[in-house]
Structure 1
């Protein structure tokens, strides 16, 4: 009797496991590089909940935060080859998979967050995204602004490009960031995100550049004194998917995944926007940072110092056609925005 009962229980357990395994037709394993307290992770949680619920259980999502699978670049490589299905990208990493994506990291390209979102919905960007998918097997589904990047350092307040002279400024592994700091007279020093805090703490670099919310959330105020809110680059966290996997989904499930990604981006952006506009500056001042906002004339000096070198770099790397197409698209976006308020 006991052995018969055990056999029945074993059979029931096996059936339950088989039933659970069959419940999901598709698995999405996704990696991102931030902590579970971050707005980015909250966005991925929304993606997980939406996709699992609205697929009727046909898709199971596992989100792996805090660089468990390696750096942002390493996780994107895994997504490219299909070892995982999705990964976190940003404006500093996608160009290694498709060169023209470096345009997203161009200083002073976007005047505000909404301008960037309209560009990401444009035909011009759709062509870039299709080309990246074809070339690298990676497709950007949605992107959230995590704020404009600003400079911090321990040497002096940066009020003009001349103040950058001699400062070892940490930059991500992006050619655009290297060219930007070089054009201002600084010494660009690539350091992986995961090593940044230690590099500042140990004096390997003098400064770094990131959005205000990131500077606050990752306690950079503990190892940095001066903050210049120059808003030189718009940070864009993106949800990137393996193109082969994406195409393998039935159309109705592709729509669910795309909508989930857009909802995730909206979730992150809402919290980041509040940080950047309301809470972060006051909090950083209270933590002891010296905060400086450039005057309009000083801000123009930064733009003037970088515009020609960066456009020349872009055209040399990418050719005139795509660079001119992007700037023309942004001009159309700005013109449409002006017309909308007239």
Structure 2
């Protein structure tokens, strides 16, 4: 009796397994047929989806900068990021962290060197702390106009600096972006000629070249952080500030200042940078796409900034500020010694010669 039960159970098990196996072998045929039909129905849309890389294949690059959200620089770098994602078919995604979200300008540059941040936007005045030659870009009256500045950054002078940054720090300068010619604003004294600078307490960035420039002009340079400028002008700690019109307006300095002198004494540069090791880790075709697209983004940034800067200057005039033109030649003559000093200290005659050639 026990033996009959065992045999019955064994036969039942065999039949059950046979049915299960038959079902399993049959199901994929149906699934395969359905999948094939779905693919045929979806057409090119399915093909495009198939060509996109899996999420694990996407390279994410962190780009940090200190400028305000929706500033000309922020808009331009986000435009660049969108183009890169599109033109690499999603293989490269640049995540932009504006407004010092990952640290101040000095912090993100250090992160770029260490490789904890992949890309940044940094001003030439800050880059000079790791490659001193970049301070040459902030020399007073170095450039005649915007065309001269653009030609210099895109040409041999810019390449000289890019080579030094790459060699000394393993950082690639991808372009030279426009931060505009700086103008001067004062609270209670018009600046119409060189003599008007005498004894005026001017806020100076905490960079030696600016202090030397104001000293050469006869002013009294007062180094204070940018974040304290508004209050310093309001309380009389300083009587003036110099910066491009766009940041001057967005910082609301026109609320405490009255006179603007269009001195155009220094052209400010901001540079998109990338860690070279990270750049070299990318496929060659992606590297080329990033370089070619940066040229397009650079045109975009220059246009956006110049529009914003001109609009800001007009807005300050409309709000009641007085705009004064000034003969720049006496100012240039007074600051000639400043240029000579830094060219000698940095052994930068080759750089200055290349700048001069582009004036001719």
User: Superposition pairs for residues 1-342 of structure 1, below 5 Å?
Assistant: 21-24=55-58, 26-277=59-310, 279-294=311-326, 298-307=327-336, 309-319=337-347, 322=348, 324-335=349-360
For 1:259 and 1:178, locate their aligned partners in 2 and report how far apart those are by CA, in whole Å.
38
Any gaps of 5 or more consecutive residues in structure 2? 1-52
State the shift of 1:334 in Å: 2.3
User: Which structure would you say has the larger Rg?
Assistant: 2
Deviation track 1:93-141 (CA, whole Å, cap 9, x = no partner) reads 1111101111111111111112122212323432321111121222211
Q: Aligned to 2:142, what secondary structure does the other structure show?
A: coil
Q: Aligned to 2:107, what secondary structure does the other structure show?
A: helix
* C-alpha RMSD of the superposition: 2.0
Deviation track 1:53-108 (CA, whole Å, cap 9, x = no partner) reads 11221112111111222222222121111111111111321111101111111111
For 2:356 and 2:274, locate their aligned partners in 1 and report how far apart those are by CA, in whole Å.
30
CA shift in 2, pair 1:50/1:193, >3 Å = farther
For 1:115 and 1:226, locate their aligned partners in 2 and report how far apart those are by CA, in whole Å.
27
For 1:153 and 1:291, locate their aligned partners in 2 and report how far apart those are by CA, in whole Å.
11
In structure 2, the partner of 1:14 is none
For 2:157 and 2:268, locate their aligned partners in 1 and report how far apart those are by CA, in whole Å.
20
Q: Is the 8 A contact 1:143 1:237 kept in 2?
A: yes
State the shift of 1:227 in Å: 0.8
Q: Is the 8 A contact 1:146 1:268 kept in 2?
A: no
CA shift in 2, pair 1:43/1:93, >3 Å = same
Q: Aligned to 1:291, what secondary structure does the other structure show?
A: strand
Q: Is the 8 A contact 1:171 1:177 kept in 2?
A: yes
Q: Aligned to 2:172, what secondary structure does the other structure show?
A: strand
For 1:124 and 1:35, locate their aligned partners in 2 and report how far apart those are by CA, in whole Å.
29
State the shift of 1:33 in Å: 1.8
How many residue pairs get aligned? The number is 308
The worse-fitting range, judged by mean Cα deviation, of 247-256 and 118-127 is 118-127
State the shift of 1:21 in Å: 4.4
Q: Is the 8 A contact 2:258 2:322 kept in 1?
A: yes
For 1:244 and 1:186, locate their aligned partners in 2 and report how far apart those are by CA, in whole Å.
45
Q: Aligned to 2:68, what secondary structure does the other structure show?
A: coil
Q: Aligned to 1:139, what secondary structure does the other structure show?
A: strand
Deviation track 1:6-41 (CA, whole Å, cap 9, x = no partner) reads xxxxxxxxxxxxx964041x2211112222221111
TM-score by structure 1 length?
0.83
Any gaps of 5 or more consecutive residues in structure 1? 1-18, 336-342
Q: Aligned to 2:140, what secondary structure does the other structure show?
A: coil
Q: Is the 8 A contact 2:180 2:306 kept in 1?
A: yes
State the shift of 1:172 in Å: 2.4
Q: Is the 8 A contact 2:188 2:239 kept in 1?
A: yes
